Amino acid sequence: MKSLFTIMFLLLAVLAPGLVNAQSKLTEEKKKELQEKFETYKTELNLTEAQQEKVKVINTAYFEELAGIKESGGSKLAKLKAFRKLSDKRDKEMKAVLDKDQYAVYQKMQQEMKKEIRSKRT
């Protein structure tokens, strides 16, 4: 398990420079949203320095892929499926980075965000 985690970390370290360039494709509004989300995670989850770097990489990749889904020409159902798959991927990556207590807080934050989004729809 530890070697898998090490391999994932090294892979992220190798890919991180490409993600930084990809981030420049985000609009200023999305860059600001990304930074705000990171600051929220950093504070609410009490992230260590090592965790901060990993979470930043995960969130940058998530926002980039999310922007791609939003811009795609697929149906709403296809976009919803892609979004759910992307969210599941991010949750698994976050679970690998966070400890048990931090992940519980993260899940609670995600549930609150879902409730907020649903309340805006109605």
pLDDT tens digit sequence for 50-86: 999 999 999 889 988 988 888 888 888 998 899 999 9
**Residue scoring higher pLDDT (52 or 117):** 52
All structural domains of the chain with their residue ranges: 2-121
Which residues are CB-neighbours of 12 under 8 A, at least 6 positions away?
54, 57
- CA–CA separation, 33 and 38 (whole Å): 9
**Residue scoring higher pLDDT (9 or 72):** 72
Rg, the chain, Cα only: 15
pLDDT at 111: 92
Locate all alpha helices (DSSP H) within the chain, ordered by sequence: 2-23, 28-44, 49-71, 76-97, 100-121
pLDDT at 46: 92
- CA–CA separation, 53 and 31 (whole Å): 16
pLDDT at 16: 54
Q: What does pTM read for this prediction?
A: 0.70
Residue pair 58/94 in contact (Cβ under 8 Å)? The answer is yes
What are the backbone angles phi and psi of residue 45, rounded to the nearest 5°?
-95, -5
Please choose, from the candidates 94, 115, 117, the residue with its C-alpha nearest in 3D space to the C-alpha of residue 45.
94
Residue 114 in tokens:
């879902």
